[in-house]
Structure 1
């Protein structure tokens, strides 16, 4: 009996000795190293989750992209549906009017652009060929002593560089709609998803919230509502910014045409600028290059310089007035973060990534800050204005 008791007592000393050794080992590590280690494994865990999420999104991009577009459209149309319902419209009629109006507007823009391009493209093509021939002849007659082989070689290198630099953006567009079937399927998914969000968006959100643990549902539900308010503000403000860009560049092209005998494809250029402006910071500039190219080919280099000045002026107005004051107040994201978000989104997913980068960053930012401040405990109704204060 005595031997057994001693053995049990000695066995109990082993865990205590191990614990003491662990404490001594921890004490021998500098405090800064322990803090850095604690931060490191947490950061690695977060990066691993983000990497898995990005991988899944890339694999399911033909479903994710239409769904993201549907969310943006729903954020635009839900206030309109609610406005009609407040004026005693039946819900089914308000939803039908919103969806049909969206389809009608988009279809009308597409038809208008197609008609304008069909009427002006042959003349633009002829002018492009003539401008290329004149430029080539000028280079042959210049003091540079270039030959046809030199010009063709330089032209091939320029085309290769353009193709290489734009590969990321083109791959994003091609991956989303590599065929007419993929495009049609994505369009139908977008329309159906938008319709169901307008009909039962709250029910869909409640089902999604129930996927989380019970203790986390209140925080996630409130932060999601705050994120939805931010997303709605972003869509409305971005449409206004895109409209200003399109009117500015389109009106500049039209005025130049009055002095130089007409400017072709003004409406398609304005529509392209409007759509491109949904990619903040760089969208209006990239689509505005089309106007500069048309002015260079169809008019003359001086008109192209004036058109370039108009594009830069519009971009400066957007960058120094619209983005900091209007967009900044709507999404609560610093302009520098917007630039890096667009660049990262374009690098990871091409055009869709650049398009969705800012709304995703803005929504996640305001949701995270709302949960971190703990406002969901004291202010469960995030639709109030004070819920978004300093978000």
Structure 2
């Protein structure tokens, strides 16, 4: 640009990339290349989701259960025995909870079906009294049923067979993924530290220390997040379950399990659990009981958000609510239900890794007292286990 504020023709081609426009273009090109590379990586991972999904789930669960195995090892248990014990205990807890849920649903099925029919009848009566011009009578309902039967009879049974075959294939994929998850989880619990040390073995000096620090931070944040979420979910399920039992809701235990599972979905999980619990209570126990359940859910969620979560989770999830919402959305689009569950903890780990990348390292040189590199690594591991103090 000349003294008159007019653009001038560059003398050389290289000069095109050195002015302000060239710098912006360079950064834009770099951003496009990074975005393209990330797209290729994500697309490639989605093509092998049968392996990637069990791997990520096993990594998250192992980060939470690893300290338990280490505690057993420090108290004289062989690590292999401790791993088997922890895995068996978790499987027994899950199987017992599933058995109790199925048993209660089976025992309350007749009552639930009767109450559902009764609720639909009241709903039809309310509709007819409120909107008499669009009243529903037995003839309308019978016509709707006959139309449904005709639609079912005209279905392409070949397509139905294909759908059944696809469903069986999905069940097979789920079974394969479950087996892979258990196998990978076993090896992560048994040999997790050794696996990470093997991965970073080619690194030397400061790079090795940096990799040690980042690995420790990632495991600490991920494990703390999962354990804290389990505690919060258990407290929510316990309090809401007690309220359902006091109100004598027939499906109190299954609804408490729903609350526990939904608590793993940040921001929207509590609302979803409250809606499900209130709707079931509305069908089984009526309007006022459903209103009381909704009030209990709101109180518990407020106590969780303002008291329990900050204490239990602490700094493990130092993410803004907007970041959490965007992460949930992207995770759901890319990975469905599994993506919804694991996207937020993975984002928390990514943020922890970014902070660990900027964290200062201990000195590498030997001190006058003769400390060695291995001693520095031990100091680093002890340091990584403790949360960093927040700067004033």
Aligned to 1:139: 127
Distance 1:180 1:26 in 2: 55
Where is the helix percentage greater, Structure 1 or Structure 2? 1
Q: Is the 8 A contact 1:242 1:274 kept in 2?
A: yes
Q: Is the 8 A contact 1:222 1:382 kept in 2?
A: yes
Aligned to 1:40: 28
Aligned to 1:228: 219
Are residues 319 and 347 of structure 1, via their aligned partners in 2, closer, same or farther at CA, if it must alter by over 3 Å?
farther
> Which residue of 49, 55, 61 corresponds with 1:73?
61
SS at the partner of 2:319? coil
Aligned to 1:88: 76
> Which residue of 229, 236, 241 corresponds with 1:238?
229
Aligned to 2:210: 219
TM superposition shift of 1:324: 4.3
* Range with greater deviation from structure 2 (293-302 or 327-336): 327-336
Distance 1:189 1:347 in 2: 24
TM superposition shift of 1:334: 2.6
Distance 1:146 1:377 in 2: 81
Deviation sequence 1:87-110 (CA, Å, 0-9, x none):
112222211211111111111111
Q: Is the 8 A contact 1:345 1:357 kept in 2?
A: yes
The answer for unaligned runs of 5 or more in structure 2 is: 1-9, 145-165, 365-375
Distance 2:202 2:40 in 1: 19
- 2:294 matched to 1:308? yes
Provide TM-score, normalisation by structure 1.
0.79
Deviation sequence 1:157-177 (CA, Å, 0-9, x none):
xxxxxxxxxxxxxxxxxx999
- 2:249 matched to 1:273? no
TM superposition shift of 1:298: 0.9
The answer for unaligned runs of 5 or more in structure 1 is: 1-18, 154-174
> Which residue of 172, 184, 194 corresponds with 2:175?
184
Aligned to 2:113: 125
Aligned residues: 345
Are residues 353 and 212 of structure 1, via their aligned partners in 2, closer, same or farther at CA, if it must alter by over 3 Å?
farther
Aligned to 2:388: 388
Are residues 177 and 349 of structure 1, via their aligned partners in 2, closer, same or farther at CA, if it must alter by over 3 Å?
farther
> Which residue of 339, 344, 366 corresponds with 2:352?
366
Deviation sequence 1:293-314 (CA, Å, 0-9, x none):
1111011112212211222222
Provide TM-score, normalisation by structure 2.
0.79
TM superposition shift of 1:253: 1.4
In the TM superposition, structure 1's runs of 4+ consecutive aligned residues that sit over 4 Å from their partners are 175-178, 210-218, 376-380
- Taking only aligned residues, the RMSD between alpha carbons, in angstroms, comes to 3.1
